[in-house]
A and B are shown apart, each in its own frame.
Chain A
């Protein structure tokens, strides 16, 4: 069964420093991986995805993620953190249910990112 794990409940980083939010995945077949961000009292916003191709995926707001097949990781990164990046981040994987069907996304438990000025 498909699953994702986010080993850190909270990540604290000083503004201007690089940040990493960790994610490990478990899938059968090709992985379709996503990162979403949730600001307080808001919905989930799509950041980026890995379907196929380059292992380094670039997304919104300067975020990027590195797909590592051998280590089954899909860590979210940003070279220089902003205070406004403080939010809840979810790693997610598409659960394979046939190409033509509406396939659900399975979310990790979330990591709260806190950027201090």
Chain B
């Protein structure tokens, strides 16, 4: 069964450093998303992406964040200058339709020290 994959599974970085989180969505999906979950809290939407552009972004997704689909398979989330409060589990998701379910990857645990 096809699945969303994410790398790395765990990333530790120092405050102020740049990180890139990588995702490979399911191959025939056209809609891509990033969410995050701070430990013990609810899952929060960050950004959605379709047709090579951002469809929607949340208040969390400020100028320090960017997304890119550099080739036909990868979907990346970049945080330019990490803050302590960026520590969270980041989930990538994809779907093949706007009303269809989103399939989530296993997540990348980002720890900012």
Contacts and interface: CB of A to CB of B under 8 A. Distances in A.
Interface of A: 32, 34, 36, 42-46, 49, 51, 90, 94, 97-110
B45 A101 contact: no
Contacts of B95: 102
Nearest to A32: B99
Contacts, number: 68
A103 B98 contact: yes
Interface of B: 4, 31-33, 42-45, 48-50, 55-56, 58, 91, 93, 95, 98-107
A110 to B, nearest CB: 6
Contacts of B105: 43
Given A90-B42, A100-B98, 6 more contacts: A49-B101, A102-B50, A102-B56, A103-B99, A107-B42, A107-B43
A107 to B, nearest CB: 4
Nearest to B92: A43
A102 B45 contact: no
Contacts of A51: 99
B48 A103 contact: yes
